[in-house]
Amino acid sequence: MPNASARPKNSGRRSHRRPREDPARNQLVSSSLESAQQCLFNQDYGPAFVHYLLVLNVAPEFKEFAKESFRFTLFKWAEELDSAGRIQDIFSCYEQALELFPADEVILNNVGEQLFRMGFRDEAARHFFKALKLKPDYVEARENFYRVANWLVERWHFLMLNDQGRNRKYQQAIQKAVHGGCTSVLDIGTGTGILGMCAKKAGAAEVYACELSKTMYELACEVVAANGMGGAIKILHKKSLDMEVPKDIPHRVSLVVTETVDAGLFGEGIIESLIHAWRHLLLPPPTGETASGDPSATGRVIPAGATIYAVAVECLEIRRHNKLCVSEVGGLSMAAASERLRSPVSCTADAFEVTEPYTTERLGRLPGGYVQLTEPVTVLQIDFNNVEELEGLSSRMVQRLRVPVVREGKLDALAVWFNLHLDQESSLSTGPHEDTCWEHAIYPEHTSKGFLLKTGDELLVDVSCRETYLHLHSMAVTRNGRHVRLDTAADLRDPEAELCSALACLQTRTDICLLDYSEMALLNNERYHRSFAAALSELVTRLKAEPPTPGEPADPFYVLDVLEGFSMLSLVAAAQGGVRAYSSVEKSRQQEVLKRLARANGVPDDSLEFWVNRDDYQMGALQRPSREKLWSAILLDCVETCGLIRQKLMEKASLARCLLERGGRIFPQKIVVLGTLVESDTLLMESAVQGLDATLGFNIAPFINQFTVPVHVFLELSTLACRRLSEPTELFVLNLMDTNANYDEREVQVLTTSAGRITAVPFWYDIHLDDENIVSTLAPDSHWKQAAVVLQRPLEVAEGEQITLVVKIRNSSISIEVRKDI
């Protein structure tokens, strides 16, 4: 803490005139400093912060002197405000702090962390990035920036910019339109600005662009300026729906270019944005009278339209992420909940609490593959140059398609892709056999028991467009002249069966419990739950065998489950007998499911409790509700679904060890990090823009590659296109039960098994619950994905060459340096 009687040194130029002293000011500064220090000593951080603000505003010469104490006070006061839910006050304090210290990398980093926790990823990234520019070796800011960069500049940006075929086709279509008379252009959702630059390079007289993301807007401005078009392309940080003529652009344009499409074509709002463009920003489309007139007097859109296709598929990977596939979990029957659990994706008219009608996957990368049960069928054709068709899309009558089944199998989903027609001659396909940056829209089938399609069936699929989404719903099949419902297998022509089905749906609709895809896959992971049940049983058996303390009654064993999301492990523990388990499941419907399962499996009511007043950042979740007792077991969440170690894991483990009773245990007790050397051009393409050729010669790579992160997440190693250059190797060990066994850095020697280029080091984990029970995140039934450190410069190696990996873990983040031994 600063000494109140000290005075900062005068670091300015020597003055010939002695400044006039202001006794009142000096007294105010001195007394406020003393008050700040006293409040800090008493841990009264709010008043201390106010006193420091007063001192530093009145006497700026004290900034360097008081900076460390001011930071400490600010962060402590922000923690108190956060715990009290006073979010507006937090940002007010940070705003005042940055007015005093606008170039303080530590304050900027903390502001970014607060913003990221609240979901403001764009703003968080800007603060982390600014902190890194001020101090490039600031480790905390760099790790934070890497985490948020995955959200801001999604990996498909790199794939798209590396897709030379796609970029060339867009360039040719734009060039043809501009040469045909479309001299004023608007690029909607410009991203890096590449389509707008294509228009300008083709000779367009006026080019405008808009971008909603602040991060991408700033990036586009940098890219356009670096390519010598800064004064020729006007970029607006704005949603196209908010643009007006002449406020934002001087007049209507003759060409709109855009690629605001997702896997389901309409999910990024292309229909809404094009309707608005036709009504307010674009010249009218050609009519019979204007078709042969001046092309610059009419408007058009690139892409001109699209054709959407669908196919029914059988796929175990899709199935286990969307519905319950097991009858038991950790020895507990799931019959009482089998009809109530499902993923949050549905296209039914009575879809409950559903956010979107589809999820996305790359069909070619699904573990275990998939089987097409029907031939692809055309679902919808749309003309983006017909505004009446666009406006009528949402009010179209539901179209029922009859899709012949050509192969027997379980119906798990409808998979959708599209052809994007850039103009009359050129198209882009996102089909499953194309190598593109797009994923495929997956419409899962939720029938709990699964419906077996047979050759000769006709699958009935209802198609509609509601709320700017494409909706596909498989409702029935036609078999031997009868319509059979998928959910009940009842004959639709049987009124009694239809009535019973409707009543059953009405009764269970409000009981549906939605689980995230990863939560559903976890629930279906039998090996995971079987291993946990065995480890918990061994611990409880051992603790029961220990002689009780004389004179004290036998207490139950207390188990705390603090895993993220929906977890069955608290119920698995409670079923051991003589255990009182605490669950951190927060959602009321998920709690009801656990209670229902507890009753159905004969678990006493007082053996399972819910405890939701937890604070992840203060780690208060590990404190005992009843302080006179310690935990027999604490179940920690160690690995994120994306393949990274959870943040603050070791801090939580350290606190958990202090709260264990004698003989108690943390689950898992240790984590072994495993890895291998691979050569994979796919990982390079998904991690950074490779050179200038793919981006049509435009200088984009240095700017977008600022958002390259060294660790690639949500990786499916079993289907990754790669060559293995080594055997799996143990890289690191994190011991959660013995802090003395841990280290921060380790060198690992790896022998190459093949010659090639090392482009990445994929890694995964063996999670040791105890000495006997191990769960691997690489297992085929794992709900976890893997991650990989991608090298900035590939390393050429020969077969049998020894490679050194320098593995570091800091704040739960893994970094790997690869070098050849000399």
558's tokens = 């207390």
Q: Rounded to an integer, what distance in angstroms lies between the CA atom of residue 161 and that of residue 699?
A: 11
pLDDT above 70 for 44: yes
Mean pLDDT over the full length of the chain: 87
Q: Can you tell me the mean pLDDT for 427-437?
A: 90
- pLDDT of 436 reads 82
Least confident of 434-443, 565-574, 592-601: 434-443
Nearest to 373 by CA among 308, 310, 433: 310
Identify the residue whose tokens are 């108190």.
Answer: 80
Q: Can you tell me the mean pLDDT for 481-497?
A: 65
803's tokens = 């490679």
Least confident of 281-295, 470-484, 803-817: 281-295
SS3 labels along 380-427: EEEECCCHHHHHCCCCCCCEEEEEEECCCEEECEEEEEEEEECCCCCE
- pLDDT of 22 reads 76
666's tokens = 């943390």
Q: Kindly list the distances between the CA atom of residue 358 and the CA atoms of 446, 451, 744, in Å, as whole numbers in the listed order.
A: 12, 19, 42
Q: Can you tell me the mean pLDDT for 248-261?
A: 96
pLDDT above 80 for 242: yes
Q: Rounded to an integer, what distance in angstroms lies between the CA atom of residue 595 and that of residue 726?
A: 48
Q: Can you tell me the mean pLDDT for 399-416?
A: 95
Is the Cβ–Cβ distance between 213 and 221 less than 8 Å?
A: no
Share of the chain above pLDDT 70, in %: 89
Confidence of residue 505 (pLDDT cuts 50, 70, 90): very low
- 3-class secondary-structure state, position 487: coil
Q: Rounded to an integer, what distance in angstroms lies between the CA atom of residue 270 and that of residue 264?
A: 11
First vs last Cα of the chain: how many Å apart? 50
Interval 180-228: pLDDT, tens = 999 999 999 999 999 999 999 999 999 999 999 888 899 999 999 999 9
137's tokens = 């070796």
Q: Can you tell me the mean pLDDT for 736-752?
A: 92
> What are φ and ψ of residue 42, in 5° steps?
-85, 5
Q: Rounded to an integer, what distance in angstroms lies between the CA atom of residue 173 and that of residue 175?
A: 5
Amino acid at 124: A
438's tokens = 């797009």
Confidence of residue 822 (pLDDT cuts 50, 70, 90): low
Share of the chain above pLDDT 90, in %: 62
Q: Can you tell me the mean pLDDT for 444-469?
A: 88
Least confident of 12-21, 161-170, 178-187, 717-726: 12-21
Give just the sign of the alpha carbon dihedral 786, 789, 794, 795: negative
Q: Which pairing describes strands 469-479 and 482-485: parallel, antiparallel, or unpaired?
A: antiparallel
Of the two residues 560 and 346, the one the predictor is more confident about is 560
Is the Cβ–Cβ distance between 170 and 302 less than 8 Å?
A: yes
Enter the DSSP assignment of 118: T
- DSSP string for 726-777: B--EEEEEEESS-GGG--SEEEEEEEBSS-EEEEEEEEEEEEESSSS-EEET
Is the Cβ–Cβ distance between 186 and 299 less than 8 Å?
A: no
- DSSP string for 267-316: TTSHHHHHHHIIIIIBPPPP-TTTTTS-GGGS-EEES-EEEEEEEEEE-H
Q: Which long-range contacts (CB under 8 A, 24 or more apart) does 592-595 make?
A: 592/513, 593/337, 593/340, 593/341, 593/513, 594/568, 594/570
CA atoms within 13 A on the CB side of 444: 27
Q: Can you tell me the mean pLDDT for 41-67?
A: 90
Q: Kindly list the distances between the CA atom of residue 430 and the CA atoms of 273, 420, 440, 609, in Å, as whole numbers in the listed order.
A: 22, 8, 8, 49
Q: Rounded to an integer, what distance in angstroms lies between the CA atom of residue 346 and that of residue 486?
A: 14
Q: Which residues contact 384 (CB under 8 A, 6 or more apart)?
A: 270, 274, 301, 303, 304, 305, 306, 390
Of the two residues 286 and 364, the one the predictor is more confident about is 364
> What are φ and ψ of residue 380, in 5° steps?
-160, 145
Residues 191-201: b if buried by 16+ CB within 10 A, e if exposed: bbbbbbbbbbb
Interval 122-147: pLDDT, tens = 888 889 988 998 998 888 888 888 87
Q: Rounded to an integer, what distance in angstroms lies between the CA atom of residue 193 and that of residue 174?
A: 14
Q: Can you tell me the mean pLDDT for 635-640?
A: 94
- pLDDT of 15 reads 40
Burial class (CB in 10 A: 0-12, 13-18, 19+), 627: exposed
Confidence of residue 293 (pLDDT cuts 50, 70, 90): low
- pLDDT of 205 reads 96
Of the two residues 66 and 315, the one the predictor is more confident about is 315
- 3-class secondary-structure state, position 116: helix
> What are φ and ψ of residue 10, in 5° steps?
-80, 110
Query: ω before 8 within 30° of 0 (cis)?
Result: no
Is the Cβ–Cβ distance between 265 and 393 less than 8 Å?
A: no
Q: Beta partners for 302?
A: 257
CA angle 610, 616, 618 (to 5 degrees): 115
Of the two residues 538 and 489, the one the predictor is more confident about is 538
Is the Cβ–Cβ distance between 611 and 586 less than 8 Å?
A: no
**In terms of DSSP H, where are the helices of 577-620?**
588-600
- 3-class secondary-structure state, position 442: strand
Element containing residue 538 per DSSP (H, E): helix 526-545
CA angle 519, 521, 524 (to 5 degrees): 110
Q: Can you tell me the mean pLDDT for 355-375?
A: 91
Query: ω before 246 within 30° of 0 (cis)?
Result: yes
Interval 70-125: pLDDT, tens = 999 999 998 888 888 888 899 899 999 999 999 999 999 999 988 888 888 888 88
Residues 350-380: b if buried by 16+ CB within 10 A, e if exposed: ebeebebbbbebebebbeeebebbbebbebb
Q: Quickly count: other Cβ atoms within 10 Å of residue 106's Cβ.
A: 19
Least confident of 360-374, 427-441, 485-499: 485-499
459's tokens = 């699958």
Of the two residues 459 and 822, the one the predictor is more confident about is 459
730's tokens = 């143990």
Q: Can you tell me the mean pLDDT for 425-439?
A: 90
- pLDDT of 395 reads 86
pLDDT above 50 for 298: yes
- pLDDT of 2 reads 39
Q: Rounded to an integer, what distance in angstroms lies between the CA atom of residue 205 and that of residue 199?
A: 9
